[in-house]
Each structure stands twice: as structure tokens, then as C-alpha cells.
Structure 1
Amino acid sequence: MNNQELKNLIEKYLNGTLEPSEAAQLEQWLDTTGDEHAFDAMPEAEKETARKEGYNRLVQRINKHRQPVVIKNRFRYWKAAACIAGIAVAGALFRKPMLDVVAPHRLVSLQSTPGSPKKHILSDGSIVWLKGNSKLVFPAGFGAGNREVVLQGEALFEIAKDPQHPFLVKCGTLTTTVLGTSFNIRETGKETQVTLLTGKIALSAPQSAQVVLYPEQQAVYSSTATAIRKKEEGALPFNDITKGTEYDMAFNDATMQQVLKRIEDKFEVNIQLQDAVINSNLITADFTDQSLQHTMEMISQALNLDFGIKGKTILLKQKK
């Protein structure tokens, strides 16, 4: 892509007239920009600082450019050129954030390998642990309709509650519909097994009656048999299903440091304590299948604390 073509795309983006095909072209350019290997070699702390500071500057610049322009056109093109320069300088540091700005509903693919589950937090706050050699295809950002993903293989899902926007998991010809719950799907090629941990889900497939599962129930679907079959009730293989994940959040006389570290790891946040005395508490509670917001509310209510969430940072302090 030459400078003139890139300038035209940026100009359309600033005007809100970027066509889907053009967004894909700009997305492809962004996806191939920058020295990825140099970025990967940076220490993790420096990566995170670079992402936050640099991306914030880019977003501020873009937001500024989107304001109505009343000065002559040649100045408008100068602003577009400045935006191009800013994006080009960003390179590998801001590739994914910039793609999220330009093409928020694009499909993203996540692949795991045998060994340990690969976790991903979706745009709605739902958490997915991909297991084994599995693949998940999902939108970078969910729109106003249903939340829909496609799974090949096995994954443990912990779905953020949103009754207005059902969550659909497509696995072969089997569709799992949920509102907010946790469950495991395992597809082997011959059949698909669904295990419900909490909540309620509905399973549907062509030429098969819908099957509803309740907690601690399992069902098996085989496309050759064209039927969804509930398995006989028995003890769930809970440890096998949750192995290698942070799903289990039950604590018994755990230190506050242990609890907060587990919360940080699961939700990929940073918790800062304003008062060191908070660490003296011991916790006995079960936060399994609870959102970050609800988890912090439960802790704060039990220990008479206040908390605030800003992005990926949580401030926890004693109530005055």
C-alpha cells in the first residue's frame, strides 16, 4: 500500500465512510506493520508500559481528528497524514489495539496446543480456557445481537451474564445457547460432550429435539446419530474439567495475598491496596463462577472495604 492509498483510507476512516472491504485492507496493513520480533524481545513490564502510554496517545490523536473540521481541506489532509505517521510509528506495539479501533467486529482465531489450557477473556468479560489442540473463532468485539463463537476441540467457558444477549457456541452442527453460566464442551470428531457446571443451557442440532441441561448434567451429541442424549447422572469429573484453569475460586482460611493473587491471575488485573492492614485478613469463601465486579463486591462487603475499578487496575481501601 502506497502513501496515497493509505491517506485515502485514513481520510475515509476519519469521516466514518470506510467500507468493509477498505477496513479489511487497512486492517491487513496494520497487521503487517512494525518489527514484531523487536517488540517480543522487550521485557514484559516495558511492553505493558509501551502499550498503555503509546496507545493512549494514539487514541487521543484519532479522537481529536474525528472532530468536525472547518479549516481548509489541505489542513485536513495534513491531519490525516499526521494520523498515518502516528499509526506507522506505532507498529507492532499497538497492532492489536489499532485493529480493535478500525475493525472491532472482525473475527479472531485463537489456537491452543496440548500441554496446558490457553486462557482468553472475551470482549464481554466471558472467560474461555482452550484445552488440548483446539481452536476458537470469535469477534474481536461483540455487537448488539447475540454473542456467538465457533469451537473446534475442547474448552471450558465461564460466560458473563447478559440476558439481553444470549451466548452461542457453535461446535460442528451442535449449538449451545446460554445466558450466563459455566460449562465444558469437548468435541472429538466423532461426538461432542457438554458438561454443565452452573446455570442452564439449551442444546440444539439439526433433526434433533432441543435438550436443556441443569447443573451437574451432561449430554452427548453425535452427528451420525442425529440426536442429543443426556447421560445418566453421576459424579462430575470436576477436577479433570477444571485442571489447568483458574475456574475454581474456593478458599478456606486463605490469606488475603493468596486470594488477591488468584483474582489478578484469573481476570488479568492489577489490585492495589491503599491500606496494608487489609493483608492481615483471612478469607473463607467461594468466588467460583462470579464476575470480577461481584467478586470484589463480596470481599468489600465482608471486610468493610471500598474498591474502584479503572480499566485493568483495582484500588482496594478501608472504608472511612
Structure 2
Amino acid sequence: MEKSNFDQLLKKYITGQVTESERVKIEAWLDVMKTENSKDLELNPADAERLFQKIVSKKDNLEQIKSFKPSSGKETKTLGAGSLLKIAASIILLIVAGYFSYLMIGKKDNFNFLASDKVEKIILNDGTLVWLQKNSRLTYLDKLSQGIRYTELEGEALFEVAKDATHPFHIKCNGAMIKVLGTSFSLKTSDHVVEVKVLTGKVNFSTASNIAGIDVEPNQKAVLKPNGALEKSAMVQGEITSITNDTDYLMKFADAPLSEVLNSIERKFDVTIKKSSNAAVNCKITADLTDQSLERSLETIEEILNVKFEQNGQVITVTGAGCSTP
């Protein structure tokens, strides 16, 4: 059977041969389709051609594409594009898997992540957590052979960088370079302005014309102005809440049941914690696990309560008497 225009377009998309405009439109529509019934991922010939024309159009018609729905009805004969569409959808569902989606980069040399209209959570293969704001893009390039962890950002994100003194974490954005070892901070780029707000650790903020840059410390922010100047100042009250909103960054607990703490850890690190005994889950715990790795968070709980954690991949088992005498 001769391949349809849409069929061929998706094949190009899967192999990375579409234009930037076409890629954005395809991903925007697939992002909408992921919430629809799976049967809607089949297109009849007329649907496929109509959608193809909208995607390759030079017009700014993104909203029309997002609202495009395939014809329904069992009597409609579907074509080969359905299978390719499902392949493409499976790829996109990894990229836009919904609110606070999870992605482990693994061993890929290059990685490109585009958030849709929601906050997306990414866990990089070094353990770094990134909360990518809507319509923002994060690119990962494997440069460990050069002794660094390297990313590029377009838009806005909250970073919780895993500590690794031997591999500094670099972020390139709008002509600026951010360099950290293990730090949490917000980074925003827009209209030739770059702004960094530091929560913990220290960030070096530099440009091509100011290679030494400036160091930005906790509760400070710095802005790269359109004229190339770097300006540093203190964060005002409320800014921390603003940049951590809709994320699992803040992990401070006061006299909270262990079950609540473990549920928060599950959400943040995308793990499953199995309780072999219910004895410990009602124990109360006071601890600040903010900006702590999964490993360190579990170690802290072990230091406070009589419990032990055993991890096997993404599954963690907790045992022990908890707050009672063993």
C-alpha cells in the first residue's frame, strides 16, 4: 500500500527529519491525544491528510492542531498511519507523560525534552531532578568524557543537581553559562534576559564577555541584562515559594507520620516503597529532607527511627520496629 503523506511525515518525525515547526506541531497534537481513548490514535485517510496539511502549513495554527480530533466510528477504514502514529505516540508519551512525568535518560548521548502545558519532572541519569516549566525545553548532551555534565535550557526550570565534585554541572542558556557541583536553584530565560535564583549551594554565573562571572549564594538571585551586565541581589519574601510551587522540592516534615514522609519520597523520586510491617508507618518524624538525594533521605530516616531500607531498582522495602522497642 502506498504510504500517505501523514504516514511519511511521522516516519520523518521518528527519525528526526522534520522541521522545527513540524516537530512542535506533531508533539503538541500527540500531547493532547495521550489523554484520549487509544482508538482515537487511528486515522482514516481524510483525517490523516487534513492533519498533514495543518502540520506542514506555514501558518501559526498550533491551537487548531491541538483541537483536531480524528473521526470516530467503526465503519471508518483506517490506514497504515495508525501503527506509525502509535509508535510516535509511544515516544511522545515518554516525553509528555503528564503532570510531573518521569524520565530516566539512561545511557543516551543526547536527549531533548519539551514540556507541554504542564510542569514536567525529569530525573537525569546522574540523579539530578529538574522540574521543567510549561513550554520549556531541556537538552542533555553527554560530555562526561570532558569531565562535565552538560545541559541547555530554553524557558524556565527548577534544578536539584546531584552532588558530584568530579563532574561539574553546566547549563547553557541565552549566551550565559551556569556552573554548579551540587546545588538547587531556579533558572529562567526570556527576551534575552537570564535570571538565576539560588536555594542551596553556590552557582557561578558567567558570560562570554565575563568568563570569571559572579558567584550566587543561597537566597540570592542574579540577572543577565540585555546590555550584558550581571546584577546580583537578595531574593525577596515569597520568591522561594513561587519557584518551588507545583514541585516536590520542599520536603520539610514536623511531627509527621512516617507513612506521609514515605509517600512524599515515592512521589519525588518515582520509587515504590513496600512496608513489610505496619508497625513503623505510624511513627512520627521531624526532619528536613529538602535538597537531599534519595539515598541520603533514607539514611536520615534510619538515623531517627529503628527502620531499615533495602533497595532493588525502583522498589524499596522498609522493615523494623520504627519508634517501638525492637
Which TM class, normalised by the smaller chain length? 0.5 to 0.7
Offset at residue 236 of structure 1 (A):
5.5
CA distance in 2, matches of 1:276, 1:242: 32
The aligned residue for residue 274 of structure 1 is: 276
**TM-score, length-scaled by structure 2:** 0.65
* Cα shift at 1:94: 9.7
> Secondary structure of the residue that 1:279 maps to in structure 2?
coil
1:221-240 to 2 correspondence within 5 Å?
221-222=224-225, 224-232=226-234, 234-235=236-237, 237-240=239-242
What CA distance in whole angstroms lies between the structure 2 residues aligned with 1:236 and 1:211? 24
Q: Give the equivalent residue in structure 1 for 2:265.
A: 263
Query: What is the TM-score when the length of structure 1 is the normalising length?
Result: 0.66
Distance in 1 (CA, whole Å) between partners of 2:116 and 2:91 is: 24
Q: Secondary structure at the match of 1:149?
A: strand
What is the rounded CA distance, in whole Å, between the counterparts of 2:255 and 2:172 in structure 1? 40
CA-to-partner distance for each residue in 1:122-154, whole Å, 9 max, x for gaps?
Answer: 000000000132100114x66342000000000
CA-CA distance at 1:232 after TM superposition: 4.4
Aligned to 2:127, which of 108, 125, 128?
125
Q: Which amino acid aligns with 1:113?
A: S
Q: Using the alignment, how far apart are the partners of 1:138 and 1:121 within structure 2?
A: 12
CA distance in 1, matches of 2:172, 2:192: 16
Cα deviations across residues 171-217 of structure 1 (Å, max 9, x unaligned)?
Answer: 11110000001000011123111000000111110112510011111
CA contact (8 A) 1:154 1:186 kept: yes
Cα distance in 1, alignment partners of residues 283 and 120 from structure 2: 32
Query: 1:217 aligned to 2:196?
Result: no
Sequence identity percentage: 35
What do residues 90-120 of structure 1 show as CA deviations (whole Å, max 9, x unaligned)?
Answer: x899979xxx9xx934311111133x31100
Residue in 2 aligned with 1:310?
312
- Runs (4+) of structure 1 exceeding 3 A deviation are 91-96, 141-144, 232-236
Compare the two structures and name the one with the higher helix fraction. 1
2:127 is aligned with what amino acid?
G
- Within 1, Cα distance between the matches of 2:166 and 2:126? 13
> Could you tell me whether the CA contact under 8 Å between 2:113 and 2:137 is conserved in 1?
yes
Matches within 5 A, 1:13-28: 28=15
Q: Secondary structure at the match of 1:212?
A: strand
Q: Distance in 1 between matches of 2:260 and 2:114?
A: 30
Give the residue type in structure 1 aligned to 2:268: K
| 1:292 alignment partner in structure 2 | 294
